[in-house]
Amino acid sequence: MRIEPQQRIYICFFLFAVSMGALLSRLPDLQVSLGINKSELGLTLIGAAVGALISLTFSSPLIMKLGARNTAFATVLGTSLMIALVPWLGYAPLVFCVLFCEGLLAGALEINLNVEIDRIEAQLGRGVMNRAHGFWSLGFFVTALASSFIRQAGISIQLHLAITFAIVVVAGTIAIRGMQNASAPAPSQAEGAHMALPTLGMLPLCVIGVGAFLVEGAGIDWSAIYMRDVFAVEPFVGGMGLTLFAFFMALVRLFADRFVDRYGSRIVALVSLALAAIGIACVWLAPVPEIALAGFAMMGAGCSAVYPLAVSAAAQRDDRSAHVNVAALAQMSFVVFFLAPPLLGFVAEHAGIRMSYLVCLPIILAALFSTRALAPKRIAMDAEKQRAAE
């Protein structure tokens, strides 16, 4: 069976999300096993954010030296192994250390896969970035749905994550062993930068990316605990918040490209962020579980295509190389995804878990005002015609 280069990247995104989603769906069980409160759980989870920040800032030279295949082996399988170790530790500081190592690998994984899919796009002559990120979301949906049944069946978190790791090892080995480095563009002076930091012109795109990842973190990390604490629902219903969030995120991402081509990045981002804001308000104010679940679904659909649109806009800027701008955006946005659990956990512990969703709204409003940095329909269509001509 022949696996196309972009399909190997899809599988890597999918498997990374499956591993991470398996852990996040069991956060209520992890909290109980560690005997800590929500704020302490958030501080424990911040280990992944610290590791990711360091890796996103400094790991590019090592990734270039190892190549795409070796880096994918180390990061896809390595992150899954670190996650599988977490429930066996039983001590929050040790979990912090293991998640720090997981964050180091996850940051390198993010750079490696996004750079490879960008280069593959250039070779194919068509966009596959949204679809690649769609498989990330699809992985979360699959693991969230499976976890709802697994938790309801009373299967331990240790066995759950061990089985997930075994699946990742088998599927990851099959997908990664045939991976080859995509052709790189001609090097430029900007390519030599090892620390990619945002410029002033990049800040609106960073705000958009941060808004999308904050909503994603709020939906993925705390939905199960929210449903448990606010409505005291059974584990299956509690897991449906994450399931619906991940399903609608994956669904929109897999089909978003046609809407971007028709209406332009700016309109799609405006509609998406507005939908995310409505979803957050529903979760914040929900009087019954059904409204909260609808809110999680709208949050997933609303934040789905926003980050890929920001990535494409960063890559199309001509002030620096695409590699540097995309890396700078990833540093800001991806770390927020890891920082969301501790930040929202702190708010949840001191002001209630409903308020942890309310604090996301100002960032979404700022992202709405920043969508002017994205291309309107006419510019997007002209760019597409130019790529087709080349």
State how far the Cα of 332 lies from the Cα of 206, in Å rounded to an integer: 6
Mean pLDDT of the chain: 84
Task: Provide the domain limits for residue 142.
Answer: 5-180+195-389
Cα torsion angle, 166, 172, 175, 177, sign: negative
Assigned domain for 190 exists: no
pLDDT band at residue 385 under the 50/70/90 scheme: very low
Dihedral angle at the C-alpha atoms of 295, 229, 244, 99, nearest 10 degrees?
Answer: 120
pLDDT band at residue 184 under the 50/70/90 scheme: low
pLDDT band at residue 377 under the 50/70/90 scheme: low
Mean pLDDT of 130-159: 87
DSSP 186: P
pLDDT band at residue 294 under the 50/70/90 scheme: very high
* Contact between residue 171 and residue 301 where contact means Cβ atoms under 8 Å apart: no
State how far the Cα of 353 lies from the Cα of 10, in Å rounded to an integer: 34
Mean pLDDT of 244-253: 88
Q: Looking at residue 164, what is its pLDDT?
A: 96
Percent above pLDDT 70 for the chain: 89
Tokens (6 digits) for 289: 């579980």
Mean pLDDT of 242-263: 84
Q: Which one has a higher pLDDT value, 84 or 265?
A: 84
Assigned domain for 345 exists: yes
- Please determine, for residue 348, whether its predicted confidence score (pLDDT) is greater than 60: yes
Tokens (6 digits) for 379: 């510019």
How many structural domains compose the chain?
A: 1
* Contact between residue 215 and residue 360 where contact means Cβ atoms under 8 Å apart: yes
Q: Looking at residue 59, what is its pLDDT?
A: 82
Residues recorded for the chain: 390
Mean pLDDT of 184-206: 66
| pLDDT tens-place string over residues 164-179 | 999 999 999 999 998 8
Residue given tokens 């302490």 in the structure block: 40
Tokens (6 digits) for 242: 């994450």
**What is the pTM (predicted TM-score) of this model?**
0.77
Alpha-carbon separation of residue 310 from 161, 260, 321, 329, 371 (angstroms): 33, 12, 15, 8, 9
Assigned domain for 187 exists: no
Mean pLDDT of 211-222: 83
Assigned domain for 351 exists: yes
Look up the CATH number of the domain holding residue 100: 1.20.1250.20
Assigned domain for 331 exists: yes
Assigned domain for 186 exists: no
State how far the Cα of 32 lies from the Cα of 35, in Å rounded to an integer: 5
Assigned domain for 241 exists: yes
Q: Looking at residue 389, what is its pLDDT?
A: 46
List, in sequence order, the alpha helices (H) in 200-321.
203-231, 235-263, 265-285, 289-303, 306-316
Alpha-carbon separation of residue 130 from 84, 137, 155, 385 (angstroms): 28, 10, 34, 19
Assigned domain for 188 exists: no
